[in-house]
Amino acid sequence: MSSKNNESGQVMAFLAVCLVVLLGFAALAIDGGMLFSDRRHAQNAADASSLAGGSGAAYYMRGYNVNYNAFICGTSGTINTQSAAEMAAITQAGLN
């Protein structure tokens, strides 16, 4: 006796599983790309804030004739320079 097995429809089930797996990998790729994009944006904001703080300190030092020889910790010129740098960095961070 020979019986004929009904195997129609197996390809459909296999394709459905493959489609789910393919969509899962696509979702992971998109989420990974967004993760790196968010990290890059945060790093750019931190870099811009750091540069703004440095330039704020440089502008203050130039405007009030504070040079490296007179840059002694605890003097009013140094404290004001630090405050100017912090405010410039905070302002730039707020803009980002």
What is the pTM (predicted TM-score) of this model? 0.61
Torsion of CA 13, 16, 21, 25, to 10 degrees: 160
What the block records as the tokens of 6 is 């009904």
Helix (H), strand (E) at residue 63: helix 10-63
3: confidence class by pLDDT, cuts 50, 70, 90: low
Supply φ then ψ for residue 57, to 5 degrees: -65, -40
Cα angle, residue 75 at apex, residues 87 and 92 outer, rounded to 5°: 10
Please tell me which residue, 16 or 66, carries the higher pLDDT value: 16
* C-alpha to C-alpha distance for 42 and 26, rounded to whole angstroms: 25
